[in-house]
Amino acid sequence: MRWNRLTALAVLVPALLIGCAAPPQPNPLRNAHFGDLHVHTRFSMDAYIFDVRATPDDAYRFARGAPLVHPAGTRAISTAT
């Protein structure tokens, strides 16, 4: 019985120590960003229900900082830099 406990410790302790390694640093060039840049276009089924008529070109210009007019008449401005 003692041999089984030592074997289990010999296997589990290194596995636990490997899991405690520091996580990799985020790569700013490959991070997914949501929020201000998330825009539905007229090709989206749920956007059609809410009368959104923005094109993919409009969404691209919005992501670059240009204002986008919401169907309700409000003007949205991206805060992304």
- Say whether 69 sits in a helix, a strand or coil: strand
pLDDT tens-digit map of 4-45: 777 766 766 666 666 666 777 877 777 766 666 678 888 888
Distance separating alpha carbons of residues 36 and 78, to the nearest angstrom? 6
What pTM was computed for the model?
A: 0.50
Distance separating alpha carbons of residues 17 and 81, to the nearest angstrom? 40
